[in-house]
Amino acid sequence: MKKVAIIAQTKEGQLSDTSIQLISFLSSFTPESILLVAIGEVKFASLPASKSVDVITLSEGLWADSSSIEPLLKIVDGFTVFGIKSIQVDNLLSLLAASSSQEMISGVQQLTYSAGKFTISKSIFSGKASLTVTSESASYFSLNRNFDFSGNAAYGDQSISSVTTLTNASGSKASILALKPITGAIPLPDAALVVGAGRGLKDPGNWTIVEDLAKALGAATACSKPVSDLNWRPHHEHVGQTGVKISPNLYIACGISGAIQHLAGVNGSRIVVVINNDPEAPFFKHADYGIVGDVNDILPRLTKKLQSH
């Protein structure tokens, strides 16, 4: 790995912690050059690196076809390219990989590199299993958000050698008609703490107890699929097999039975708390902490306790 590139999404000019960890992690392979391709603006104070980093920022717009990615493709030619899994990052990595006839591995949980060979553990079956693969040639990698950096965070002096902005002036053939960002709430895939609720809440009007608890924790809210199917909650909040996959530090599941399709979206969580009034609910088998009780009683008490100190 002589040259490594990192594709990272920024938010309000900041890189995510995992993207920063990724830069440090890759620096430990002492490549000759590191290139950061930022989707969105990046404020350089947020960039720790032990080596000098070249930065390319991609302007607003669509990077959704070969004609728009052409200039970027020329720049990353010869690089080994990494990113932390997100919709935009994976879409861009896969387009770049195929446009340059390179192989890509997505869902990387662990990665080592020695003597020109990558050994990778890739999670499969929604985290129920993993696959160990080796490759000497793959050069595009999408790492899971809970990638195992194994404490590798060699933060060093930062130094930026050059910054370039790429615009897709050559033109995407597609055009944006409207952007609908989700405002106010903490985006689910990024959230470190998540409170999820299911059909056990009985009525959309009862969600205030879920929202209050989430607010007291600084957590994002999630729901089970039937809840979004019933339009009690927005579709983008549904986690599981067919919904968002989350891997927060803490997931609190309230009034959710723990169907296998739900677990598929949340079993990457570090600590799982289950609150359910049925002691036989299957979710308890997959919980770190379980409380058999009524959500209407337990949730407000937890909120009160958090608010008191």
199 vs 142, 202, 231, 257, CA distance in Å?
Answer: 34, 6, 12, 9
> Cβ of residue 37: shortest distance to another protein, in angstroms?
15
Farthest CA pair distance, the chain: 60
> Cβ of residue 196: shortest distance to ligand FAD, in angstroms?
8
Q: List phi, psi (to 5°) of 207.
A: -70, -15
Strand partners, 141: 82, 105
Dump the DSSP string for 136-150.
Answer: SS--EEEE-TT---T
Question: Which DSSP letter does residue 274 get?
Answer: E
> Cβ of residue 50: shortest distance to another protein, in angstroms?
27
**287 binds another protein per the rule CB under 8 A:** yes
**Which of ligand FAD, another protein, none does residue 136 bind to, with CB < 5 to 8 Å depending on kind?**
another protein
Which of 188, 295, 302, 303 touches ligand FAD by CB under 6 A?
A: 295
Site string for ligand FAD, 193-232 (x = CB under 6 A): -----xxx-----------------------xxxx-----
> Cβ of residue 84: shortest distance to another protein, in angstroms?
11
Q: In whole angstroms, what separates CA 282 from the centre of its chain?
A: 27
> Cβ of residue 76: shortest distance to another protein, in angstroms?
13
**Which of another protein, ligand FAD, none does residue 306 bind to, with CB < 5 to 8 Å depending on kind?**
another protein
Site string for ligand FAD, 233-262 (x = CB under 6 A): -----x-xxxx-----------xxx-x-xx
Task: Considering only residues 144 through 183, tell me which ones interact with another protein, judged by CB under 8 A.
Answer: 172-182
**128 binds another protein per the rule CB under 8 A:** yes
Q: How many residues bind another protein, per CB under 8 A?
A: 90
**99 binds ligand FAD per the rule CB under 6 A:** no
Which of 83, 107, 196, 265 touches another protein by CB under 8 A?
A: 107
Task: Considering only residues 38 through 77, tell me which ones interact with another protein, judged by CB under 8 A.
Answer: 62, 64-67
Q: Which two tokens stand for residue 217?
A: 């924790």
Which of 20, 53, 72, 272 touches another protein by CB under 8 A?
A: 272
Q: How many CB atoms lie within 10 A of CB 2?
A: 11
> Cβ of residue 1: shortest distance to another protein, in angstroms?
16
**Which of ligand FAD, another protein, none does residue 199 bind to, with CB < 5 to 8 Å depending on kind?**
ligand FAD
How far apart are alpha carbons 83 and 89 in whole angstroms? 6
Q: Which two tokens stand for residue 92?
A: 């861009």
Q: How many residues bind ligand FAD, per CB under 6 A?
A: 26
Task: Considering only residues 127 through 156, tell me which ones interact with ligand FAD, judged by CB under 6 A.
Answer: none
Residues 6+ away with beta carbon under 8 Å from 239 = 188, 194, 196, 222, 223, 224, 245, 246, 262, 265, 266
**1 binds ligand FAD per the rule CB under 6 A:** no
Dump the DSSP string for 3-53.
Answer: EEEEEEEEETTEEPHHHHHHHHHHHTT--SEEEEEEES---GGG---SSEE
**93 binds another protein per the rule CB under 8 A:** yes
Question: Which DSSP letter does residue 244 get?
Answer: B
Residues 6+ away with beta carbon under 8 Å from 24 = 48, 49, 50, 152, 153, 154, 155, 156
The footprint of ligand FAD (CB under 6 A) covers 198-200, 224-227, 238, 240-243, 255-257, 259, 261-262, 265, 276-278, 281, 294-296
